[in-house]
Amino acid sequence: MKDTVFELAILGSGSAGNSALITTENCRILVDIGFSARQICQRLGALGVAPDSLDAILLTHEHGDHTSGLDVFSRKFKVPIYCNRLTAEALRGQGVATNAPWTIFCTGSSFTIRDLDVQTFYVPHDAVDPVGFIASSGYGSIGFLTDLGFATKLVHERIREVHTLLVETNHDERKLQDDPKRPWSVKQRILSRHGHLSNHAAATLVANIAGDCLERVILGHLSRDCNTQELALGEMERLGLDRLELFCAQQHEVSPRFSIGRTLPVITDQDDLVKIAEQIDPVAYHQAKHYHAQYTLNLQWDAI
């Protein structure tokens, strides 16, 4: 089987801007565009991606830290924008990207962009119709879960089988309570069921869904004033989640490219290899079973 490309890079994440790039064999998609168009181009450039080569921009919701670059970017590059109707209306009502190609989906629906399958689901947050996404291609899937005040049962169900999860770890509850800059009403909003996930709430969610599938958690959307990387990662570790690959996304730095999919188990026994090969890809296994010697030497799923 040919090597398949399925990668995720975080262009930046935090209260001042959010954007991520998904790359597959046949498409390049931005999830949110919360930096200036110039910053987006620079950050894509750091990943070797030309802005006009994008196939779509998916929007989670209309807040500025997810959409601030959309208007200027879409005047320059005619990249299709995917979002639900209320989000599109909120943005176009402010004169944002009114001449761009919009594709409207219904929250809860699934659709395909080239070789990427996208599932959408509602998340509670103080926006007109905020969504989370699951992006799947080949054997891998990514969950996007930023900006939600509360992890509902639906959220748990939807993200239970992802391999990589980008989850908001917005604030440390004590730091937020003690913050002298924010008025009480703002703190109440952030802490509410339509606000943002704390480090503890995010870690509890991850602990609830971590099973056979989840391999990697990327922490994002950290508040500059009310959180630190150490606190966010520390809470994951406190709940025993450091058995997973953990990475904290930065506001001002582009992340490495993460390859999405199954981690190869260490296999020493020929029988185990045969069993697992059959589970993973029965057709390819049966075609290949006369060539055990060949694929035993190449212990890569891609070689089966």
The binding site for Zn ion (CB under 5 A) comprises 63, 65, 147
Nearest approach, Cβ of residue 199 and Zn ion (Å): 16
Nearer to Zn ion, 85 or 160 (CB): 85
Nearest approach, Cβ of residue 113 and Zn ion (Å): 23
Nearest approach, Cβ of residue 226 and Zn ion (Å): 14
Choose among 71, 152, 68: nearest CA to 108.
152
Sign of CA dihedral 273, 278, 283, 286: positive
Nearer to Zn ion, 115 or 126 (CB): 126
Nearest approach, Cβ of residue 158 and Zn ion (Å): 19
The answer to whether the CB of 124 falls within 8 A of the CB of 194 is: yes
Backbone angles phi, psi at 251, to 5 degrees: -70, -40
Nearer to Zn ion, 137 or 199 (CB): 199
Nearer to Zn ion, 216 or 221 (CB): 221
Nearest approach, Cβ of residue 127 and Zn ion (Å): 5
Nearest approach, Cβ of residue 32 and Zn ion (Å): 8
Nearer to Zn ion, 63 or 163 (CB): 63
Nearer to Zn ion, 68 or 136 (CB): 68
Nearest approach, Cβ of residue 63 and Zn ion (Å): 4
Nearer to Zn ion, 129 or 147 (CB): 147
Label the pairing between strands 140-145 and 164-168.
parallel
Q: Residue with the closest Cβ to Zn ion?
A: 63
What's the rounded Cα separation, in Å, for the pair 149 and 47? Answer: 32
